[in-house]
Amino acid sequence: MRCQTSRMHDDLIRLTATQAVARLQLREVSPLELIDAAAARIAAIEPELNALPTLCLDRARDHAKRLMAGEGREKEGQTGWLGGLPVSIKDLTDVAGVRTTYGSPIFKDHVPTASHPVVQRIEARGGIVIAKSNTPEFGAGGSTFNEVFGRTRNPWNTSLTCGGSTGGGAVSVATGEAWLAQGTDHGGSLRRPGTYCGVVGLRPSPGRVTRGTVNNLFSTLSVQGPMARNIPDLALFLDTMAGWCATDPLTYDAPAISYAQAVAAAEQNRPRRIAFTADFNGQLPVDRETRAITSKAVRAFEAAGCIVEEFAPDLGDLAEAFLVLRSQAFVVDREAQLTSHRDLLKPDIVWNTERGLQATPSRIAWADRERAAFFRRMAAMFGKYDVFVTPGSPTPAFDVMLRNPESIAGVKLENYMAGSMMNAAITMAGCPAVAVPCGFDQYGRPVGLQIVAPPRRDEVALQAAALFERASGLDKQLPIDPRPGVVPLAEAA
């Protein structure tokens, strides 16, 4: 009987989110059975990964029982209905009654009484929260570790990082601990973990998904968004999250045509012209193998009848402008903690916040002008091209013991954000971007593409990503079991 139960659990975790929701709607499987399957998977592999340090299985089962009794089904039949599907929520995002630490020792015992509006939306649409996923302290960093829960490891090679800051979420979907994962993205926090872990992550357009009641309500740098194993699942979860929210002034109504419908029609809406760059015309360091793999992979669009051309807008001094504006966000968010708990903040947060405090009004104004100029160059590009494609990250996953790679292609990194501009440039332009797997390097590390669309054209990015995914078939390799390995040597110049 135990072997039969184990086989059933294994079969269930291998369902895609879309398949699982279809079976839930047909009553072929129950939310409780999915929770049990996820719980068994978590118990089996968490010791090797540390992706979901806080579980809330009793709360999840109570929610499941209410759904099964017919309660809380007011949104059933609407787009994004999940029907009792278990999901993970990033530990930056409040879940009522569940320990939520933000990866910080300051909040190590924090238990919120109310859920974040995006969690309320997910639960109202039949999503069941089973766990909180690990994150760097306050989401700051490209490798997932903190003083509360420790390090999260990459399932493709447990000696490597899973990326950050939605690292735990990426691992949870890659390994079958959850069917979907909620996360956030400022400088690549949904895209780089997606690339490192061989899953898909979407940075939506600002305003597409509520950020709730954050203090940076009028900033477009940080967004909430979905992660999944494939693009149809990603579109489903975006439909769950999308829409106007009274607590977020930048939000707007969900589209008339759902993202799931848009992805289903990807073949009929393929991009005509695609701009591709491996390194923004040499302006960003990218390792040789990543350049080679992504340059070859993007040609798959040509087989689908698309025109692919080498092109990238000039970055100007966008890297410095990003740091200036990012540091202002840290001032808004962390100035109080810097005063009261400086000794409990990690050095990167102290550095970012103090950098913001030292910036002059003239410097901030310069950064906004630099950002606007880059946006205009991106807009001009989208006048000619339908989508813009780059590597998902300049290098595959690095040593889990490092906070960031020490160098990329022989170029020494000056700070922990210096290797993030491939993603941060897209953040600055206010564009939606999808990370989608495109292959593996010689050491078996996942490599991905970043597919970018014009602002508020999230469906265009998703459709292009779906077209590529269907051609590559890489999503069929998931979920995976954790694999031990060694850290490859860094590539020289």
Helices (H), strands (E): how many in the chain? 16, 17
The Cα–Cα gap between 116 and 132 comes to 13
Please answer whether residues 208 and 214 qualify as being in contact, where contact means their C-beta atoms are separated by less than 8 angstroms: no
Whether 344 is in a domain gets the answer yes
Which residue in 391, 78, 461 sits closest to 240, CA to CA? Answer: 78
CA angle 67, 232, 187 (to 5 degrees): 100
- Tell me the per-residue pLDDT of 277-307, one tens digit each, with 9 for 90 and over: 999 999 999 999 999 999 999 999 999 999 9
Whether 105 is in a domain gets the answer yes
CB atoms within 10 A of CB 211: 24
The Cα–Cα gap between 428 and 451 comes to 15
Residue with tokens 């602002």: 455
- Tell me the per-residue pLDDT of 159-191, one tens digit each, with 9 for 90 and over: 999 999 999 999 999 999 999 999 999 999 999
pLDDT confidence of residue 489: 84
Cα of first residue to Cα of last residue in the chain, in angstroms, is: 57
Q: Which amino acid is at 150?
A: G
Enclosing domain of residue 352: 2-477
Whether 262 is in a domain gets the answer yes
pLDDT confidence of residue 110: 98
Residue with tokens 């910036």: 359
Question: Taking the mean position of all CA atoms in its chain, how far away is CA 83?
Answer: 23
Q: Is 318 a residue whose pLDDT tops 60? A: yes
Whether 485 is in a domain gets the answer no
Q: Is 490 a residue whose pLDDT tops 90? A: no
298 three-class SS? coil
Whether 70 is in a domain gets the answer yes
Which residue in 233, 18, 52, 242 sits closest to 129, CA to CA? Answer: 52
pLDDT confidence of residue 2: 64
Residue with tokens 């339908």: 386
Please answer whether residues 448 and 436 qualify as being in contact, where contact means their C-beta atoms are separated by less than 8 angstroms: yes
Please answer whether residues 318 and 425 qualify as being in contact, where contact means their C-beta atoms are separated by less than 8 angstroms: yes
Q: Which two tokens stand for residue 150?
A: 């420790």
- Tell me the per-residue pLDDT of 185-240, one tens digit each, with 9 for 90 and over: 999 999 999 999 999 999 999 999 999 989 999 999 999 999 999 999 999 999 99
Whether 482 is in a domain gets the answer no
pLDDT confidence of residue 493: 54
* Percent above pLDDT 90 for the chain: 97
Q: Which residues are part of the catalytic machinery?
A: 90, 165, 189
User: For all residues of the chain together, what is the average pLDDT?
Assistant: 97
The Cα–Cα gap between 349 and 109 comes to 20
Whether 227 is in a domain gets the answer yes
Alpha helices in 160-297 (DSSP H): 167-174, 191-197, 231-241, 259-264, 288-297
Give the mean model confidence (pLDDT) for residues 408-425: 94
Give the mean model confidence (pLDDT) for residues 25-38: 98
Q: Is 1 a residue whose pLDDT tops 60? A: no
Q: How many domains does the chain have?
A: 1
* Residue 323: partners with Cβ closer than 8 Å, 6 or more residues away: 355, 415, 417
Q: How confident is the model at residue 476 (pLDDT cuts 50, 70, 90)?
A: very high
Domain containing residue 387: CATH number: 3.90.1300.10
pLDDT confidence of residue 386: 98
Whether 336 is in a domain gets the answer yes
Question: Taking the model in full, what pTM does it have?
Answer: 0.98
